[in-house]
Chains A and B, each alone.
Chain A
Amino acid sequence: MAIIMCLAVPGRVEKIDGDFAEVDFGGVRKKVCVTLLPGLQVGEYVIVHTGYAIEKLDPEEAKKTLALFDEMARIQAEMDN
Chain B
Amino acid sequence: MIDTRPFRDSKYAKAIAQEIEQLSEGKNIRIVHVCGTHEDTITRHGLRSILPNNIKLVAGPGCPVCVCAAEDVDMAIELARMGHIITSFGDMIQVPSTSSSLVKERMRGADVRVVYGVNEAVEIAKANPEKDVIFIGAGFETTAPTMAVEILRGPPDNFSILTSLKVIPPAMEILVSLEGFNVDGFITPGHVSTIIGTNAFRPFAEKHRVPCVAAGFEPLDVLEAIRMILNQINDGRATSENEYTRVVKPEGNLVAQKMLRHAFYIDDAPWRGLGVIKKSGYYIRDEFARHDARERYDFSPIESIDILPGCRCHEVILGMIEPKECKLFGKRCTPEDPYGPCMVGHEGTCRIHHESGAL
From 239 to 255 in chain B, residues with beta carbon under 8 angstroms from any chain A beta carbon are: 243, 245-249, 253, 255
How far does the Cβ of A29 sit from chain B's closest Cβ, in whole Å? Answer: 12
A-B contacts at CB below 8 angstroms, number: 152
Q: Given the complex of chains A and B, what is the CA–CA distance between A6 and B37 in angstroms?
A: 6
How far does the Cβ of B227 sit from chain A's closest Cβ, in whole Å? Answer: 8
Contact digits for B1-39, partner A, Cβ 8 Å, 1 yes 0 no: 110101101011011101100000000000000011100
Cβ-defined contact, B149 with A3, below 8 A:
no
Interface size class of B (residues with CB under 8 A): 35 or more
Q: Given the complex of chains A and B, what is the CA–CA distance between A26 and B259 in angstroms?
A: 31
Q: Given the complex of chains A and B, what is the CA–CA distance between A10 and B4 in angstroms?
A: 9
Q: Given the complex of chains A and B, what is the CA–CA distance between A36 and B147 in angstroms?
A: 11
Asked whether B92 is an interface residue with its Cβ less than 8 Å from the other chain, the reply is: yes
How far does the Cβ of B19 sit from chain A's closest Cβ, in whole Å? Answer: 6
How far does the Cβ of B42 sit from chain A's closest Cβ, in whole Å? Answer: 13
Contact digits for A1-29, partner B, Cβ 8 Å, 1 yes 0 no: 11111101110100000010000101000
- Contact of A3 (CB < 8 Å), options: B15, B91, B247, B248: B91
Cβ-defined contact, A54 with B195, below 8 A:
yes
Cβ-defined contact, A4 with B64, below 8 A:
yes
Using Cβ atoms and an 8 Å threshold, which residues of chain B touch A45? 2
Contact digits for A28-40, partner B, Cβ 8 Å, 1 yes 0 no: 0000010111100
- Chain B residues engaging chain A, CB cutoff 8 angstroms: 1-2, 4, 6-7, 9, 11-12, 14-16, 18-19, 35-37, 40-41, 64-65, 89-92, 114-120, 138-139, 142-143, 145-146, 149, 153, 189-191, 194-195, 216-218, 220, 224, 243, 245-249, 253, 255-256, 259, 345-347
Closest 7 CB pairs of A and B: A51-B117, A8-B217, A73-B15, A50-B117, A69-B12, A61-B246, A6-B37
- Chain A residues engaging chain B, CB cutoff 8 angstroms: 1-6, 8-10, 12, 19, 24, 26, 33, 35-38, 45, 47, 49-52, 54-59, 61-62, 64-66, 68-70, 72-73, 75-77
Could you write out 26 A-B pairs with CB less than 8 Å apart? A1-B346, A2-B90, A3-B91, A3-B347, A4-B65, A4-B345, A5-B347, A6-B191, A8-B218, A37-B255, A50-B118, A50-B143, A51-B120, A52-B117, A52-B146, A54-B142, A54-B191, A55-B249, A55-B253, A65-B243, A69-B16, A70-B12, A72-B12, A73-B14, A76-B19, A77-B15
